[in-house]
A and B are shown apart, each in its own frame.
Chain A
Amino acid sequence: MLKIADITKTYDNGVKALNNVNIEIPKGLFGLLGPNGAGKSSLMRTIATLQQPDTGSIQFDQINVLTQPNELRQRLGYLPQDFGVYPRVSAHDLLDHLAILKGIANKAQRKEAVDGLLAHTNLFQHRKKAVSGFSGGMRQRFGIAQALLGDPDLLIVDEPTAGLDPEERNRFHNLLVTLGEEKVVILSTHIVDDVSELCPNMAVLGNGQILLQGNPLDITGDLNGQIWRKTVSIDEAAELENTLPVISKRLFAGRTVLHVLASDAPEGFESTPATLEDVYFSTLHNSRQNSQPNSHSTQAA
């Protein structure tokens, strides 16, 4: 459905944001996972017609996204990573305004859709208040509502759940799953759980490159039996990191839990089932290992 081929983008300041990105995205939810600064937002904006790459092409259905941005915008819903709003305009008025811009001309239909979306995002009771006065989470929900206007065929949501409380996050996830079947939904995030909960397909973006792509279950399964765990003190952890391929390290009750990727169990480690998080971290770990000779970055965390 959405075909991204050979996309490369270097910014004026020399930062290579996207480096030969190739993905094909079918209908349904697609998770784009990556750490801060990996190029997720650059990719999202490029697909959302807001930025032109240096090279490459993007095809959605029959639309060449890069040369026919107006046609794509008819079918696009986009939630940017962060956004502001016009001052002094109420949630209802602003959403109605955006609905007209989206092209919903019929007044009755528009009212139904606007009210419905406000209800779905739990903003209906706040609809007469200015969006500029909303809290971060409410504003984010407004962003979600506007992205869903006009029943887009391509929905791009960049870090949608940032700032949402768990209840709202669940509500949003449910909404996405309901809507997601007939559309292409690209969900960019750095939260692994979002992807593992929602997405039948995913990719990991690091340093502007696609590092991994596939079905979360499949790629997690590939790592089964290779992930080992040990709970140690902070001092020990530092020592082990120098000797073993530690892909993640987290605190649990004041002690450090290390995950190591290896075919055989290192000494004192126990086997643990692979999770998507392990996949994600190991991918990033590998990517850093590969680029290490060229950089003098500090030890992988």
Chain B
Amino acid sequence: MFTQMLGFEWRYFTRQPSFIVTCLVFFILPFLLMTIEGAQVGSGNVLFNSPFSVTQIMLALGLFAMFMVVNFVGGTATRNHTSLMSEIIYTKPITPFSYNLGRFLGAYLICLTVFSMVPLGIFIGSLMPWVDGERIGPNSLMMYVRPFLTFSTTTIFVLAAILYGATNFFKNMMAGYICALGLFILYVVAGQVFNEPEQRAIRALLDPFARNTFGEYTRYWTTFEKNALLPALEGAILQNRLLWLALGSFILLTAGGLFKPLNLTSNKTNKKPKKEKIDVIPDNNNIAVKASANNGFAQFILRTKFEIKQIVLSPAFPVLLLFSAFQLIAGFLNINGAFGAPNWPLTQTLVQIIVGAFSLMTIIVITYYTAEVVWRERTVGMGDIVDSMPVRNVTFWLSKLLAVMLVIVSLHFVGLVIAIIKQLLSGYENIELGQYLISLLYFSVLPFCLLIVLAFLLQVLSPNKYVGMLIFVGYIIVSSVFGQIGIEHNMFNFAAAPIMQYSDLNGYGWFMHTQNWYMLYWTALAVILGVISYGMWQRGPQASLKQRFNLLTYQLGTQGKSIAAAALIIFVATGGYIHYNTKVLNEFYGQDEVLSAQADYEKEYVQFRDAPMPTVVSVDADIDIFPKNRRIEASAEISVINRTDQPIDRFLVNIPLHTKTYEVEISGGTLGEIDTKYNIAWFDFADPMAPGEERAGKFKVIRSHKGFKDRGEDVTLVKNGTFINNFELFPSFGFNEGYRIGDQHERRKRDLEPLQRAHKLEDTSRYSENFFGRGVEFIDFSATVSTSDDQFAIVPGYLQKEWQQDGRNYYRYEMDAPMVNFFSVMSADLEQKKVEHDGVIIEVYYHKHHHWNVDRMIESSQDSLDYFQQVFSPYQHKQLRIIEFPGYRGFAQSFANTVPYSENIGFISDLRNPEELDPVYYVTAHEVAHQWWGHQLNAANVQGSAILSETLSQYSALMVVKKKYGEIKLRKFLTHELDRYLRGRSAERIEEMPLLRSEGQQYIHYQKGSIVMMALVNKLGEERLNKALQALLNEYQFREDLYPTTLDLVRHLDNVSNEAEQAYIKDMFEQITIYDLHAKEVVKETLEDGKTKVTLTVSAQQFSADGKGQETEQPFAGEVEIALFSEDPNDFSAENKVIYQGLHAIESGDTVIELIVEEMPAFAGIDPFVRFIDRDTGNNIIKL
């Protein structure tokens, strides 16, 4: 019986067309993922068919497999019921268990067969000749079999079991769909909620699809490991699989009805029949009432109400709303900014979360509901009756369309309500209902509604609803890679528009304008699609497309035809207008065009990379900003000097973006023709500049904007919150290093040599260039800036004069200290707070709704100034200004006495919970530290340059943080830094460098730098380390002839260290060393004298890694910190006390440590303060 039933299911499904189609889909998707350029999973040096990438694809499609499983398994569970076969089947003499189990396993086997197309698709894809052979590694059978057995067989069993249970229990497919959606949301929510390093084990466990599990398992895998290692059924993966297999089996056994005797479920409900009034039966009524001819509107209202009622009253709808509410509540729980610290729930942030959370779900909802609603009459069997009614097609189409649209609107309203509740509960006072409505309805719902129109058309043209669903989902998947296959302009991606980014400073900016035009354009097309949809509406069960097409003009009538014609005119006209704006008034280049231009530029001009050019040594700028018109008219009197030992007869000038009018005047020369392909021109001296010669010159530019753009809007020049630096505003000199292609594969494709990311550390010829690049030095700076009368304008320097003229605000700034030729120009309407601290004026300019952390920024500035002046050198300015700018860019940056600070960081952190880290205090300290490291001390333009600016700023800021918040809180901070370092090296695209030679690699100069410097300060002590840094600073402060390198840093560190410490420093700076320290076991014992004896077993391992991440174990012998705590060191709310802290000699393997302490400790740990690059900090602390 069992095998027969299994065989029956097998034969049943393999004969269904849906089986073949699904197999094809599951073959084609991974095939495309392997073969479409840009869609592939591997990045950097990770191979497309590395075991890691293969597993990733299989896991991602495992998520998608949910819909396949629910169809097959749910079909099996409900088939007897829906095909009305149950009465026949159940009267046969069969044993329920083997019958049901056979059916279930048959369906499971089918799902597995379909999914086995995935490894096949990947494999065949990897063999395709057009795929870059350099990025395909050797294939082996195990690479496909192991992940398939480990993940796919189990995931599909879990899905099959749960969905079979659900559909069987509730006797309908919808329960299966809802369950599938529930699993999906569980996966998303668990991924969002448990994001802190110490919660990741929970996240790994809770994911039925094992994607997060694999993510955790491979969290720190390096390129080498991704290419070489196969996932093993161990640790978190094993636990996760066992948990879900158990849960799946449990649900199958309880809800699957495997043992249930086979009989019919009663349709009767328990409702007591209502006592009905005995009515008088009307036997004389006139039943021969003729229909009135024109009843369209009443029919439309009736149908619309009816369709809405059908949706709203079906059990799926409230469940859907509940799910989405649940998902949002989970998403809103932690609105995390930097270092896991929460942000205030700004409306723009919540809107982003809603839109993000709904993006995929809405597609699923549209797919499902469109199919349900369009085919409702056919499905329930009323099609013939309803279709033969004298109702116009448009009535059916429009009423159904509105009903599905209502679902999407409802979802977003749930989001809106929950968001507002979240804001109220958080004590956030600025509820912006208007912004919610515009952002959600106009920017998110409207495009989805247009997609619904498309989905309707596809359903109308499809022979059945499954085909329609499949085509729609296929379209969505293909459209998501339009960018990769060369369809980049939003004009060619249905319902797309430039993606809106809101800023509290600048509001909707230019996005309202683009949205208006793109939505008009797409709505016109949607109207045409809609007219076709109702014109081709299927009436009756057998109407072929051809026959419906023959009746198209009849069905449309003049009304439909004129609507379509009008829509076509609007579509073409707006399309023309968008084209004119985005491609004629503005330039539009695809990714490939840009890369080709970059490659050509490099090939043509790299020879001039080191050609002599003048250096700007003084700037007096005159800048007029017109925020309303987004226009800047600027000029600058400059003087330039020839610092080289050769005469300069010509040099390259880079013309800034969005600048049609420009002039560069230097006496004795002229600016030649512009090469518009790269926006560069030669400046020719008739009279060459001799070495050491200084000349006067002038820049003149007008930056302005016409029409609108499809991409690449100018975020530096906006209506409120203009922030532009001198390299963006004025012409700059010399070969533009930043314009070279960075990606090694794109370079190889275009026959470019691998890019040298930085000059060699030993290249002394670069020691006279600083890291801003060639020709950037200290300058004398002054500027007159003007802006509109409602804004103020700021550049570095001190305000000398402020006046009004012609209804505009004018400011005169002059700088009295040496300043790097790197300055910001800002104009905005903001609030100001100003305090004086020991002769330095600290000012913070902020948006009126972002007032929370202004005092914290000021406090941090004060503490930083105090500490840095005490241990390093005096502050070179008398002023420090922090200015908020729109969140289009998300950084803070230090200019001379001026720190622009993005609205998305710091200003919006919610610091009310003392348990969380304080990114505001820290980031501010970091930026203040740059006034020393970066502005007082520059670095030579070689490898490791960012160590001198960023790592030293990190160190300085962390010392300030440590003084305020203490060592234990610093531990959490460093745990975050360590995690980011390890993830950073896992994502390395080319080669990891040791600290000494970091090549602009952020995870090294920020994160690894933090850990190493804090370990160093622990070893050498604050005084010695600061002395070394002070000596370095003294040697190079404000120098322009020679800049320091990391070698100089190490030299100064060595000066204050003994031999053992020097060896340690050498190791830290020159090697990539990874440790694994582990607190394995702890036993405590109360001694007779009341003291406590703690026996702690720890283990240690040391690995050295090469640049690709291949690690080899080394013997470890060193002193490691052991500590005992009275409370959990992860819990900041507790009054934690360090009961014991001391260094112990530890070697590779296990070491047992015995400690006798007065107080009873609760937690013990090895290296609790993160002095080592430990690849698993989760096992360092152990509870007694």
Interface residues of A (CB under 8 A from B): 11, 45, 48-52, 67-70, 73-74, 76, 78-80, 82-88, 97-98, 100-106, 109-110, 112-113, 115-117, 119-120, 124-125, 128, 133, 143, 146, 148, 150-151, 179
* Chain B residues within an 8 Å CB radius of A119: 281-283, 285
A89 to chain B, nearest CB (A): 9
Contact of B384 among A73, A74, A80, A125 (CB under 8 A): A80
Does B276 touch A at the CB level, under 8 Å? yes
Of B391, B542, B547, chain A has the most CB atoms within 10 Å of the CB of B542
Which residues of B (287-316) have their CB < 8 Å from a CB of A?
287-293, 295, 298-299, 302-303, 306, 310, 313
B549 to chain A, nearest CB (A): 11
A-contact bits for B11-31, CB 8 A (1 contact / 0 none): 000000000000000000000
CA distance A146 to B282 in the complex (A): 17
CA distance A48 to B384 in the complex (A): 9
B112 to chain A, nearest CB (A): 32
Which residues of B (360-401) have their CB < 8 Å from a CB of A?
376, 380-382, 384-392
CA distance A49 to B1 in the complex (A): 48
Contact at A69–B313, with CB atoms within 8 Å? no
CA distance A150 to B386 in the complex (A): 14
16 chain-A/chain-B pairs, Cβ below 8 angstroms: A11-B542, A45-B540, A51-B541, A51-B542, A70-B555, A79-B385, A100-B298, A101-B302, A102-B389, A113-B288, A116-B282, A119-B282, A120-B287, A125-B281, A150-B291, A151-B287
A4 to chain B, nearest CB (A): 17
CA distance A85 to B381 in the complex (A): 6
Contact at A109–B289, with CB atoms within 8 Å? yes
Contact at B267–A88, with CB atoms within 8 Å? no
Nearest chain A residue, comparing its CB with the CB of B391: A101
Contact at A67–B282, with CB atoms within 8 Å? no
Check A105/B295 contact, CB under 8 A, given A45-B540, A97-B306, A146-B385: yes
Contact at A86–B380, with CB atoms within 8 Å? yes
Check A83/B388 contact, CB under 8 A, given A50-B539, A104-B292, A109-B289: no
* Chain B residues within an 8 Å CB radius of A133: 267
Interface residues of B (CB under 8 A from A): 267, 274, 276, 278-279, 281-293, 295, 298-299, 302-303, 306, 310, 313, 376, 380-382, 384-392, 539-544, 547, 550-551, 554-555
CA distance A123 to B537 in the complex (A): 33
Contact of A113 among B286, B387, B543 (CB under 8 A): B286
Question: 12 new A-B pairs (CB below 8 Å) besides A79-B385, A119-B283?
Answer: A48-B540, A49-B540, A51-B540, A68-B554, A84-B382, A100-B299, A105-B292, A110-B289, A116-B284, A116-B285, A116-B286, A128-B274
Of B274, B288, B382, B385, chain A has the most CB atoms within 10 Å of the CB of B385
Check A50/B279 contact, CB under 8 A, given A101-B386, A113-B285: no
Contact at A50–B540, with CB atoms within 8 Å? yes
CA distance A128 to B276 in the complex (A): 9
B378 to chain A, nearest CB (A): 10
* Chain B residues within an 8 Å CB radius of A120: 283, 287
* Chain B residues within an 8 Å CB radius of A84: 380-382
Check A112/B302 contact, CB under 8 A, given A45-B384, A102-B390, A104-B291: no
Check A50/B289 contact, CB under 8 A, given A45-B540, A119-B283, A128-B276: no
B291 to chain A, nearest CB (A): 3
B288 to chain A, nearest CB (A): 4
Of A67, A74, A76, A85, chain B has the most CB atoms within 10 Å of the CB of A74
* Chain B residues within an 8 Å CB radius of A101: 299, 302-303, 386, 389-391
CA distance A115 to B286 in the complex (A): 9
Contact at B542–A45, with CB atoms within 8 Å? yes
Contact of B289 among A85, A113, A143 (CB under 8 A): A113
Contact at B388–A151, with CB atoms within 8 Å? no
Contact at B547–A52, with CB atoms within 8 Å? yes
A17 to chain B, nearest CB (A): 10
B463 to chain A, nearest CB (A): 10
CA distance A101 to B267 in the complex (A): 30
Check A50/B384 contact, CB under 8 A, given A97-B302, A105-B295: yes
Contact of B287 among A73, A85, A87, A116 (CB under 8 A): A116
Contact of A73 among B289, B382, B389 (CB under 8 A): B389
Contact of A125 among B276, B299, B376 (CB under 8 A): B276
CA distance A68 to B293 in the complex (A): 15
Contact at B385–A98, with CB atoms within 8 Å? yes
CA distance A115 to B291 in the complex (A): 16
Contact at A69–B551, with CB atoms within 8 Å? yes
Contact at A115–B385, with CB atoms within 8 Å? no
B3 to chain A, nearest CB (A): 33
A270 to chain B, nearest CB (A): 44
B173 to chain A, nearest CB (A): 14
- 7 smallest A-B Cβ distances: which pairs? A84-B381, A116-B285, A50-B540, A103-B291, A80-B384, A73-B390, A151-B288
Nearest chain B residue, comparing its CB with the CB of A115: B282
B695 to chain A, nearest CB (A): 85
CA distance A50 to B386 in the complex (A): 10
* Chain B residues within an 8 Å CB radius of A85: 380-382
* Chain B residues within an 8 Å CB radius of A45: 384, 540-542
* Chain A residues within an 8 Å CB radius of B541: 45, 50-51
Check A124/B384 contact, CB under 8 A, given A67-B554, A151-B287: no
CA distance A143 to B298 in the complex (A): 23
Contact at A106–B292, with CB atoms within 8 Å? yes
A64 to chain B, nearest CB (A): 10
CA distance A115 to B293 in the complex (A): 22
